[in-house]
Amino acid sequence: MAFDLVRRVETLGRPRILVLGDSILDRYVWGDAERISQEAPVPLLRADHREHRLGGAASVASMLAALGAEVRLAGIVGRDTEAVQVRNLLAERRIDDDLVLALDDRPTTLKERYIGRAQDRHPQQMIRVDYETRDPIPGHAEATLLERLPDAVAEADVVLISDYDKGVCTPALLRALIDVCRSLDVRVIADPIRSSDYSKYRRVHCMTPNRLEAQLATGMTIARAEDALAVGRRLVERLDLESVLVTLDRDGMALVRGDGHAELVPTRPRQVYDITGAGDMVLAVVGLCLAAGGDYDEAAALGNVAGGLEVERIGVALLSREEILADLIVHHHAGGGKRLDRDALVAAVRRVRQAGRTVVFTNGCFDLLHVGHLRLLRRAAELGDFLVVGLNSDESVRRLKGPSRPINPEDARAELLAGLECVDAVTIFGEDTPLELIDAILPDVLVKGGDYRPEEVVGRDEVEASGGRLVLIPLVEGHSTTHLARRISERTMRIHPPEPTPPAPVIRTSGVKSVEERL
């Protein structure tokens, strides 16, 4: 990618964001599910913990507040115990709820989830129970919001619509809100419902439907990730959008803009524990990025990262900027590449440490990459969070190994190392030893092969003096670049033996016959 996502996160500031939508209270009941009930063939949950979190539009607001935004929430709750819990949670997160109206004739939407633990395995959701009314909000509530929203929009850097189809996002209310946003040049982004009719979102600046929602809205099928680009184009054209982001779970996102630009934004593989809240997180981070002056490409990339982090947690979990930064630094790399010069490496290491992560360093020529190298690098990566490989330059290798080395030039060697998933950064050094490089980054863990004695390892004293440690990793027997090069040479000699030396030519002297001629 051509932009620096780390820098974008570091400069997000504290944008003002208005969130309109359906606020939900999420209740989690945790317990042990160790046996089957005697009353019916169902698991028996022995509850031991209850937890409340904000859901729906309130979840989006909560995520934004955790990410450092100033947030104002608009919507409705009932006049019940759940409403009190919602407002208390909003107050804890310093979210302005003066546009959250209390209604007498409907309950606060509650989603109650039962989470069971069994045999020390990862907890799993057993069942969800919903308490809700999905009718459109009454006319007096709609009129109050219509009256008060324009002033709230005027104070916002961006407006987010979090529609859960619980009655707040009526066509009339959204039409008025979108018109106000357009007139005040404030972007409005919508996370839509599942529906075949998206007319109420017409002329929002951007929307973030998931795969199923996008298919229902267009009547098209997304069988492959590439199909989402055509679906996105149809949504952009039909609804007069600046952009659409179709979220594709394991396939990342499809970004389609009104100017014709369309691309797939991939995501790295993750362990998915719970998809709850992933869509909310994408909406929150996309809105935050745009409010801070980012473009849609940056917003899509950051939304992808945050959504991926969310599915690694149980339930709706809050993320901090530091967690997003750590994931970017360790897995995505500012500037889009793993090969860094020394200054860029020092900056990357500083950011890794600021995110509370561990830096591991190893070095070598890595001339012909083989299984011994791979196992050492994988083992080194397991010792921390950010593996840096120092690579000898071509000139450095020649001084150390002789004029016939390296076999592979430094650019090729660096590219091969950067292509390994376990390697997070590659930097080339021209000195005979990596001491200056080690001094510059002072890794937490210094790794070398087991053929070294501790006292022979360059940089050991400096690393240990700064609180780090040395780890020697046993080598794989029979694997080295020298042996590999020798075997290649020997095999080449067997397959292509040298040409026999031709006999010496017969030298004739005028008038004198050779022995052969005389015979």
**Do 406 and 396 form a contact (C-beta atoms < 8 A)?**
no
Alpha-carbon distance 176 to 196, whole Å? Answer: 22
**Do 192 and 198 form a contact (C-beta atoms < 8 A)?**
yes
Tell me the HSE value of 155 on the side-chain side, using a 13 A CA sphere: 11
Nearest to 311 by CA among 283, 282, 280, 270: 270
The set of residues, in sequence order, having a beta carbon less than 8 Å from that of 458 and lying 6+ positions away, is 433, 434, 435, 438
Residues in a beta bridge with 28: 51, 113
Q: Find the catalytic residue in 22, 191, 280, 327.
A: 280
**Do 359 and 352 form a contact (C-beta atoms < 8 A)?**
yes
- Strand 243-247 versus strand 253-257 pairing type: antiparallel
**Do 281 and 312 form a contact (C-beta atoms < 8 A)?**
no
Host H or E run for residue 182? helix 171-184
Alpha-carbon distance 188 to 207, whole Å? Answer: 9
Convert 338-373 into a string of H (helix), E (strand) and C (coil): CECCHHHHHHHHHHHHHCCCCEEEEEECCCCCCHHH
Convert 412-430 into a string of H (helix), E (strand) and C (coil): HHHHHHHCCCCCCEEEEEC
Known active-site residue 280: yes
Distances in Å between the Cα of 347 and the Cα atoms of 9, 285, 321, 486 are 15, 24, 18, 40
Judged on CB neighbours under 10 Å (0-12, 13-18, 19+), 50 is exposed
Alpha-carbon distance 297 to 2, whole Å? Answer: 10
CB neighbours (10 Å) of residue 184?
Answer: 13
Active-site residues: which are they? Answer: 280
